[in-house]
Amino acid sequence: MRTLKTFASDNNSGTHPDILRAINLCNSGHAIGYGDDQYTELALKKFKEHFGEEIDLYFVYGGTGANVLGLKAITQSYNSIICAETAHINVDECGAPEKFTGCKIQTVPSENGKILPSQIDPLLHGFGFPHQSQPKVISITQPTELGTVYSIEEIKDIAELAHKHGLLLHMDGARISNAAAYLKANLRDITVNAGVDVLSFGGTKNGMMFGEAVVFFDKILSIDFKYIRKQGMQLHSKMRFISAQFEAMLSNNLWLRNAQRSNDLAQILAKEIIKIPAIKLSQPVQINAVFSIIPKEIIEPLQQEYFFYVWDENKNEVRWMTSFDTEEKDIFKFVNTLKKYLP
């Protein structure tokens, strides 16, 4: 089996040993299905330590499920959801949000993955006009798909705009731990305290085997989420195996250590990359992603040895990601391989 560390995505990594240990440990005897078990109770307790006592919490299988169902809970089909053109819900979920919520996705152009209140504001019109999808949610990705991180102030400004117009703020936090590490902030300050109403809290990309969480910061919003989760095909029967992972993830700062590690390694990779004149970073490196513009002719040969994604074909922009298990030596090995192909 291939054991090479790649830089294609943090989801090419495996499961963190502490998480795997938790999985192995919880595999004892029987547990009532669908979440009515002690592991789930413990995981909920951990989430409350981080996000406050008032949350309502649901585990789902994957990130697309977390986003789509979280959005479904707070919309009706005649609503629109505003997000960056680059958002995962817009470009990477094969239309799952439209299909399952019926809503229109209204996009805002973005160079770096972030959207600004000044861009959103012009879309907040047509309220009460039945010909138009009614704006109901602003969805931001933290960190963005381009590896940039919203500051707390930036989130607050968007939240304020949203709430002023009766909209809700959804956050796709598939890599939120990496954002927290970058901001040196706790999870509560960059979510509920900044005005977020519903959060997709990512587990898989940060070292879990499977499982994501939908966190509601107002229980009014999730009053019927248990039905939505089941109808949305995201209710796991042997729930303990998700719960135990999250319990481990939120213990001993594992969530933060994993994120910090992958962030740090991306800095090392970036430092090596900027030494190479033929390559240019195309985004600031804030989390575990390094976006670069590289010579077109080396893309394919390099992909043969190290699979990775071309982000923008027209610009020869590629994305390299580190993960919790990347090691310094992996980076040097990769950079050496890369250099081999440079003219």
Binding residues among 143-202 for a second copy as defined by CB under 8 A: none
- The Cα–Cα gap between 10 and 4 comes to 13
Using the rule CB under 8 A, which residue among 47, 84, 93, 192 binds a second copy? 93
Query: According to the binding rule CB under 8 A, does residue 281 interact with a second copy?
Result: no
H helix intervals, 96-145: 96-101, 117-120
Non-local CB neighbours of 302 within 8 Å, separated by 6+ positions = 308, 337, 338, 341
Give the range of 17-25, 112-120, 164-172, 285-293 binding a second copy by CB under 8 A.
Answer: 17-25
DSSP string, 218-232: SGGGGTTHHHHHHHT
Q: Closest approach of Cβ 338 to a second copy, in Å?
A: 17
- Our CB check for a second copy shows the closer of 16 and 194 to be 16
Encoding tokens for residue 164?
Answer: 């002023």
Residue 293 or 310: the one with the smaller Cβ distance to a second copy is 310
Contact pick of 142, 191, 204, 243 for a second copy (by CB under 8 A)? 204
Beta bridge partners of 106: 82
Using the rule CB under 8 A, is 5 a contact of a second copy? yes
From candidates 56, 57, 79, 168, binder to a second copy by CB under 8 A: 79
Selection from 11, 60, 6, 7 nearest residue 205 by Cα = 11
User: Whose Cβ is closer to a second copy: residue 2's or residue 329's?
Assistant: 2
* Nearer Cβ to a second copy (64/258): 64
Helices (H), 52-140: 63-73, 88-91, 96-101, 117-120
Among 62-70, 156-164, 250-258, 290-298, which window interacts with a second copy (CB under 8 A)? Answer: 62-70
Q: Does 220 bind a second copy (CB under 8 A)?
A: no
Q: Does 296 bind a second copy (CB under 8 A)?
A: no
Q: In angstroms, how far is CA 334 from the centroid of its own chain?
A: 25
The smaller minimum CB distance to a second copy, of residues 77 and 186, is found at 77
Torsion sign over Cα 82, 87, 89, 94: positive
> What is the footprint of a second copy within residues 303-342 (CB under 8 A)?
307, 313-314, 323
